[in-house]
Amino acid sequence: MLQIEKHKILAPYTTLRIGPAADFFAVIREKADLLAAISWAKKNRQPIFVLGGGSNILLAHRLKGLVLKNELKGLELRRLSKKTALITSQAGETWSKFVNFAVEHKLYGVENLFLIPGTAGAAPIQNIGAYGVELKDIFYSLEAVNLKTGAIKIFRGPDCQFAYRDSVFKKRLKGKYFICSVTLKLKRQPTFKLTYGAILAELAKQGTTKPTLETIVKAIQSIRNSKLPNPANLPNAGSFFKNPELSRRAFKSLRRKYPEIPHFPGDRNRVKISAGWLIEQAGWKGRPLGPVRMYEKQALVLVNAGQATARQVLELVKRVKAAVYRKFGVSLQEEVNIF
């Protein structure tokens, strides 16, 4: 049965441990709860805000209306063919549990995305990606409920308008749907993508000559743990900025001045450059501003050393962006969703 609480502090529900109180708050554990919440919000003329794992978000202002915490659970292997399989996760499951489910069933394609914090339902909103793989590469469909009408809609790949860390759910349909489940299309035969980042080096370090799903997941876990702080120990929201994408002409101009700049292929024949490297070169890696700083092991991650406010986070973000622009003429764009 749906239970609605008043004046619920949201900080514990975000990995940055920052957040105001919600006017109204409810946990959604089944679709009946969701439909009841939509009905209540309509009757009481309250807007709805959906909260997943709280890992890619900064709640900087008071959230008016009803906040719904997505706790829909369940994993399912839906269909098998000789070459592919479909697996479905309810949106409230953690993303890593979803990846582990695929690994346990010997399904290939999602392993590079292991250990990305957050829930399965948030993955398509952000079009999450790592080590040369993005969600759009393995996405099949999602089921969502319209927050105004309660109607169910199935979204296929083109419907989601995926782009680099972007989708229609961050633009035209922002705040309009509650994602209930996500389905991936994976392969039953190995098609590993190992040339991005330090995966090959980590596999060699571990003495692995013939990679398997398990050894790749172990390597990625080792890499991420070595440079990314655990939110349970040091609050953070993951990568705070996107890696900038430049035209080839702009990149060549910048590379003449900084030949060592890390880069890799971007979308539409553009070149992606490392935001973490830009931040480090601009002097903000590990440099504190009160209780917040860009993490000393990975400058792309903004961490909260304790009792930080949203205002302090935004001030650091402002200064980092200004410093990078002054030095490189490159504008950083937030990957974290700010509300």
The residues assigned a catalytic role are 165, 239, 335
Q: How far apart are CA 192 and CA 89, in angstroms?
A: 22
Q: How far apart are CA 196 and CA 153, in angstroms?
A: 35
DSSP string, 47-80: -EEEE-SSSSEE--S-EEEEEEEE----EEEEEE
- C-alpha 139 chain-centroid distance: 15
Spatial neighbors of 6 by CB under 8 A, at least 6 apart, are: 23, 24, 25
Q: How far apart are CA 129 and CA 135, in angstroms?
A: 6
Q: How far apart are CA 192 and CA 109, in angstroms?
A: 7
Terminal C-alpha separation, the chain: 29
Region of 282 on the Ramachandran plot (φ > 0 left; ψ -120 to 50 alpha; else beta): alpha
Ramachandran angles phi, psi of 222, nearest 5°: -65, -45
Q: How far apart are CA 273 and CA 279, in angstroms?
A: 11
Q: How far apart are CA 89 and CA 230, in angstroms?
A: 24
Region of 250 on the Ramachandran plot (φ > 0 left; ψ -120 to 50 alpha; else beta): alpha
Q: What DSSP element (H or E) covers 253?
A: helix 248-257
Local structure of residue 242 (DSSP, 8 states)? P
Q: How far apart are CA 59 and CA 14, in angstroms?
A: 8
Q: In the numeric block, which tokens belong to residue 34?
A: 């969701």
